Amino acid sequence: MNFRTADRIGRTRETIPLNHVDYLWLVLEDLMPSMGQLITLRFKTRHGVEDMSSALRHMMQIYPRLRHLVCPARCTYRLEILPDTEIDDYFQDIFTVETGIPYESDSFMHRRRNFLNRGFDLERELPLRAVFFPDHESPTLLLSLHHITCDGMGWRHLVDTLMAFLNGKTVMPLPVEDNRIYSSFLEKPICRVPRQLFRSWKNNRENVSRNRQGKPFIYPLKNRCPVFGPTDMHEQDLSLGLDVLKGASRRYDCTITVLLMAALALTMEELDSSDRGGDTAHIHFLIDLRPFMKQPAPVFGNYIISGLVRAHNAIFSDYRALVNTVKEQLQYNLAQAEKKNIIMPILINALIKVAGRRLSVRIAHIIEKKGLLSFSYVFSNMGNLGALNRHGSGAVLLGANATVSQQGIFFVTSCIGNTMNMVFSYPEREVSRNEIQYLINVFEKHLKMIVGG
Query: How many angstroms separate the CA atoms of 80 and 68, rounded?
Result: 5
Residues 142 and 187 in one domain: no
Query: How many angstroms separate the CA atoms of 410 and 412, rounded?
Result: 7
Residues 362 and 442 in one domain: yes
Nearest to 332 by CA among 227, 181, 210, 171: 210
In a domain, 313, yes or no: yes
Residues 341 and 423 in one domain: yes
Domain count, the chain: 2
Q: Where are the alpha helices (DSSP H) in 135-174?
A: 152-166
Amino acid 136: pLDDT: 82
In a domain, 174, yes or no: no
In a domain, 309, yes or no: yes
Amino acid 5: pLDDT: 40
Query: How many angstroms separate the CA atoms of 37 and 313, rounded?
Result: 33
Half-sphere exposure of 384 (CA within 13 A, CB side): 14
Amino acid 185: pLDDT: 76
Residues 153 and 199 in one domain: no
Residues 297 and 351 in one domain: yes
In a domain, 414, yes or no: yes
Residues 69 and 209 in one domain: no
Written as tens digits, the pLDDT of the chain (453 aa) is 443 344 433 356 788 888 888 888 888 888 888 899 999 999 999 999 999 999 999 999 999 999 999 998 777 889 999 998 899 989 989 999 999 998 889 999 999 999 999 999 999 999 999 999 998 888 999 999 999 999 999 999 999 999 999 999 999 888 888 777 767 777 778 787 788 777 877 777 776 565 555 556 676 666 666 567 899 999 999 999 999 999 999 999 999 999 999 999 999 988 876 566 678 888 999 999 999 888 888 999 888 888 889 898 899 999 999 999 999 999 999 998 888 888 777 777 777 888 888 888 888 878 777 666 666 789 999 999 999 999 999 999 999 999 998 778 999 999 999 999 999 999 888 888 999 999 999 999 999 999 997
Residues 159 and 186 in one domain: no
Amino acid 257: pLDDT: 97
Instruction: Identify whether the C-beta of residue 322 lies closer than 8 Å to the C-beta of residue 39.
Output: no
Instruction: Identify whether the C-beta of residue 307 lies closer than 8 Å to the C-beta of residue 284.
Output: yes
Query: How many angstroms separate the CA atoms of 387 and 404, rounded?
Result: 23
Residues 162 and 201 in one domain: no
User: Which residues lie closer than 8 Å to 1 by C-beta, 6 or more apart?
Assistant: 16, 17, 178, 179, 180
Amino acid 372: pLDDT: 60
Q: How many residues does the chain have?
A: 453
Amino acid 371: pLDDT: 64
Rg (CA), the chain: 22
Domain residues for 78? Answer: 3-166
In a domain, 21, yes or no: yes
CATH number at residue 118: 3.30.559.10
In a domain, 429, yes or no: yes
Residues 37 and 85 in one domain: yes
In a domain, 176, yes or no: no
Amino acid 375: pLDDT: 65
CATH number at residue 359: 3.30.559.30
Residues 217 and 87 in one domain: no
Amino acid 215: pLDDT: 55
Which of 113, 138, 166 is at the close of a domain?
Answer: 166
Residues 310 and 423 in one domain: yes
Dihedral sign from CA coordinates of 293, 296, 301, 304:
positive
Which of 166, 195, 226 is at the close of a domain?
Answer: 166
Residues 252 and 153 in one domain: no
Amino acid 92: pLDDT: 87
In a domain, 171, yes or no: no
Which of 166, 194, 210 is at the close of a domain?
Answer: 166
